[in-house]
Structure 1
Amino acid sequence: MTTDAPGLAAEPLLCVRDLRVVIGGRHILHGVDLDVAASGVTALLGRNGAGKTTTVRGVLGLVPRTGSVRFAGEETVRLATHALVRRGIGYAPEDRGVFAALTVAENLRLAERPGAGEPAYALVHELFPELRQRAAQRAGTLSGGQQQMVAIGRTLLNGNRLIIADEPTKGLAPKVVTEVARVLERAAQAVPVLLVEQNLALVRRLAEHCVVLADGRTAHRGPAADLLADTGATRALLGVGRHTAAAAGGGSDLSTTSRKADA
């Protein structure tokens, strides 16, 4: 099932066309198209193994890729990852990547990027005051939601123009998922977010636009609310039953479901 929607109202910040990835002779992505809006949250959805994480890694140059990846109007598909980071893409990986033995302040300090200007600690502490309060606490003793604050906070320090958050609620308890939702909601007020997620209630709460992958290809692009309101489409594209889709539409159930690692 392949559907598409009219382009975003404004020029996309990130525009990906015909992204293809081959790893060890195995074709993972077969031509992914996606746009990330210049504001708010764009969700990247799909069943387990659809290629969501590989798409993110392809955008970031962490795996060999072909196609077109335009960021802020510049073609970047041939650039190395460090060059993309310098252009303003922040990445919060699915395992959060905090240094458990270091304090919150030390984790943030390590994320400072030379040449990026004065680190935006005022913005990070305005969005996440708890990080200032817990500056001397070791990151390994934080809750999952607090660690996610550190991961997102690091991406905001250097004046990034885009945050990519990969499965930020994976493996978290429902109460912590609600906390992470607030973290992402606050971050998206400052910087556009590409959110890789399987929790449809979270997507319903945060995302204006969505892209759905199936078997390494783009299967759907359009408003997130329209997709979640269509139980037939969510069942066909995501394998979501009527009960789960209804919960997502209500926007109040932020519980997670069990999920396997993505391709």
Structure 2
Amino acid sequence: MNRFFVEASQINEATKEILIEGEDVKHISKVLRLSEGDNVEICDGISYEYIGRIKSIDKNNVFLSIVEKKGVEREAPVKITLYQGVPKATKMDIIIQKTTEMGIAEIVPVTTQRTVVQFHNDKDREKKTERWQKIAQEAAKQSKRGIIPKIHMPISFGEALEHGLKNQLNIMAYELEEEKGLKSLLLDEKYSGVKEIGIWVGPEGGYSETEVADGLKEGLKSITLGPRILRTETAGFALLSMIMYEIGDLGGF
């Protein structure tokens, strides 16, 4: 069943109706060719998901009647934020798409000393962020997520360190780390029961020594991902997968 996200304000519990607006209207009528009587999944992106039956379709709106309502049960018990060094070309698209499928909560694009991509101005940042957010939305629909991950505006490494203070644990993948691994870190009783984790991945070329030192000073825990060096578009996905398997919901219970 096809899944769509709407704002909570578009759901009328009193009349048992849901309104779909915007680009999804064209997708429903012209691409999927759905019609009156067909059912779709609707999620408010916060707490609830619904089965809605199409009542009517016009040029700008799709009206649904609520058939079923239930709480969102598709999100992991741990909230993970990816601090991703902005990579070249379209690698960020892949990173957003795949980590959204895996259950990421937020993605913070980070410009570092070795970041090649340059943002010309705030308008350029906003345009790219808007595009990335749309990729996250489409991936969330496809994977039947309960929320759409938030894609932040690109920020500097220093600003990212400040943002990361909200997390209970921050894990930095560092290719020169030889002793500490993810498994031993997650088994440490000190981090038992953590609910908010930040994972940090540098761009092509990795983090500079200065950035690693600054990160460690601010409490980031550096780990190795094993004997092989992973590409920046692979590292975050691999790290997220391992955490989700160990303390999330990947693989079931």
**Smaller-chain TM-score range?**
under 0.3
The structure with the largest alpha-carbon Rg is 2
**TM-score, structure 1 normalization:** 0.24
Q: TM-score, normalised by structure 2?
A: 0.25
The structure, 1 or 2, with the larger RCO (C-alpha pairs under 8 Å, 6+ apart) is: 1
